Every structure is written in structure tokens, then in C-alpha cells.
Amino acid sequence: MDGAAALCGSDNRAPQTRSVDLTASAPSEPDAQADRRQRIARLLLWLVPLVWSSNYLIARAAAGVVSPHVLALGRWSLAFALMLPLAWGALRRAGRPWLAAEWKQLLVLGSLGMWVCGAFVYIGGHTTSSANIALIYAATPVAIAVVGAVLLGERMARSQVAGVALALAGVLFVIAKGDLRNLLAVRFTVGDGWVVAAGIGWVAYSVLLRLWPSRLGTAERLVAITAGGILVLLPFTALELALVTPPPFSWKALGLVAAAAVLPGVLAYQAYSFMLRELGAGPTALVLYLGPVYAAFTAWLLLGEPPAWYHAAGAALILPSIWLATRRQG
């Protein structure tokens, strides 16, 4: 592309060479592809929270049915088996030099994304409420935006800062059920400590995933990270089974593992990695703010629980904030 531009600029003998559009059309192809990826990433911002919010329901439903580490290991082992056939060719072409250079990063990212953000949430779900989980996770997009600005140099425009603040206000309004005094009445438990650790792990995972470059594409890299996460989960799962008597096997447990692997596993993580690459850490983190809104309407469809007025009020704050924080800056 640079060579074509130099050739066109150095030819001064015939005016008609400057009127040829063939060289001018060459750089438009990458630009068009980049614009298309950006549009897809912005669309996914609205869709991913729908599948991601299922993890909170799975965490609550798993109590007494399947052990936290068993659920996390089963989730990511099944996800790995589903993703590997599609990524195997690219992984083979990458060869051993790539693995030798990035294996430490894979273990760190796998520990954060699959162990800390997986098993810790399931442990916390045994003794805390979904409202507490949502309240704790409401702080992570702000933390990701701040840490991303410091480590990645992702400066946020004023409209993006306003969007983050508006989204935070909306999700707190939903959690408080329209009465801010409910936030003061929240009581934290031991399970909240596990969720706080998971939230910190998610901030680190989101920033490091973008900070550390990789020779692999988004899909192939997630497969490699998942492999690292499985290696970390194995000894902790064995320790859990040795210390705590697990619930008996049931088809419900197997269904929870399968649901966790497909919905908040393969689909959500692949989409999140893609959005992180295209939009940056701060805007992508806003997907967490849509979770409470989507969860309310999902409960309406699946459980017959109609949303309350504060869900609509929170949505009125959150939905415009996503557009405000991710729109193109002029």
C-alpha cells in the first residue's frame, strides 16, 4: 500500500497517471473491513450481555447440584472440545515458536479468566445474592476503563466518560430497586469476598488480554488460553474433591455444565475478545452494565416474573449510555 502510493507520487511525466483510480481503491479495502468489524463489535455490545447474564443464573442454580470447581472445569473442558476443531489448523501453523514465547501469558490469562472468574463466582454464589454479585460487578467497567487508560493509553473522550457514569447510575438504580436506601441496607457475606476477587480478576484479564499481543487470531488465542485455564483448574478441582464431598451426579448438573460451556463460555468469551480488540478495554467493559436489564426481561420470559418500573427506568439510563460511550468520535 505504501509502495503504490510512493509510485503514484513519483510519476510526474504524464498527468493521466494521476487520474487513475486503481491505486486509490487499494487502501479502501482494509478500511472497509475495519469499518465492518467495528459495526459488528458495536452490535455485539447489545447481544453479548444476554448470553453472559446466564452465568449468574447458572451460579445460583448450581448450589447443591455441582461443586464450583467441578462446574468450572467441566465448563471449560467442554468449551475447549467445541472450539479446538475450528482452531486446530491455525494453531498448527503457528508452531512451537509461538507456544514457547507465550506459554506463561496463557497460564496467567487462563488463571484469571477460567479459574478466578469461573470457580470463584460459583463459590460466591453459594452464600451471596444475585443483587450483591451485580453490585460488585458494577464497579468493574469503571476499573477497566481507568486501568486501560493508564496501561494501554486508551484515553476516553468526554462523551465516553459521561456514558460510563450514566450506565453506572442506571445499573445502581436497578440494583437498588428504585430506592437508593436499599443500597445502604446491603449486607455483605463471605461469598462477596469471592466475587470481589473474581471482579478484580476480570479487570486484570480484560486489560492484560489487550496489553499482551499475540501471533494468534482471536478465536485461536481463546482456545490456547482455555487450555492454560484447564491446567490451572485441574489441581484445585482435585483438592476440592478431596476436601469436600461433591453432590451426586445428576442430569441437571450435566445440563448446567453444558449451558455454562456454550453460553457464557464459548459464545460470550469469543465475542468479548473480538470486541476488546476492535473497541478497546473501556467501551467493551460496558457489556456488564446491560446484564441486570437483560436478566430482568429474561426472568419475565422464562419465569413469568414481570419487570418492575425501576427496570425500565434503569434501562432508560443504560441503553443511551452504551451508544454515547461507543459512538464514533468526530
Q: What's the structural domain count of the chain?
A: 1
What are the pLDDT tens digits along the chain (330 aa)?
Answer: 444 333 333 344 444 444 444 334 444 567 888 889 999 998 998 889 888 878 877 887 898 999 999 999 999 999 999 999 999 999 999 888 889 999 999 999 999 999 999 999 999 988 877 667 766 777 788 888 888 888 888 777 788 788 888 888 888 888 788 888 887 887 778 888 998 999 999 999 999 999 999 999 999 999 999 999 999 999 999 999 999 999 999 999 999 999 999 999 999 999 999 999 898 887 788 777 777 777 777 767 765 767 788 878 888 888 888 777 776 655
What is the pLDDT, as a whole number, of residue 57? 76
Output the nine-digit C-alpha cell for 45.
Answer: 455490545
Domain of 120, in residue numbers: 50-326
What is the pLDDT, as a whole number, of residue 257? 97
What is the pLDDT, as a whole number, of residue 2? 41
**Residue 10 placed within a domain:** no
Q: pTM for the full model?
A: 0.81
Q: Which residues contact 216 (CB under 8 A, 6 or more apart)?
A: 90, 91, 94, 98, 224
Q: Is 282 helix (H, G, I), strand (E, B) or coil?
A: helix
What is the pLDDT, as a whole number, of residue 28? 59
Determine the Cα–Cα distance for residues 233 and 111; give it in Å rounded to an integer.
8
**Residue 300 placed within a domain:** yes
Determine the Cα–Cα distance for residues 47 and 39; give it in Å rounded to an integer.
13
Determine the Cα–Cα distance for residues 188 and 316; give it in Å rounded to an integer.
28
**Residue 27 placed within a domain:** no
Determine the Cα–Cα distance for residues 269 and 62; give it in Å rounded to an integer.
21
**Residue 89 placed within a domain:** yes
What is the pLDDT, as a whole number, of residue 308? 81
Determine the Cα–Cα distance for residues 19 and 16; give it in Å rounded to an integer.
5
**Residue 113 placed within a domain:** yes
**Residue 227 placed within a domain:** yes
Helix H segments across the chain? 2-10, 22-25, 28-52, 54-61, 68-110, 120-124, 130-137, 140-151, 158-175, 181-184, 190-211, 218-243, 251-261, 268-279, 281-285, 291-303, 309-326
**Residue 25 placed within a domain:** no
Q: Please say whether the beta carbons of 90 and 217 come within 8 A.
A: yes
**Residue 20 placed within a domain:** no
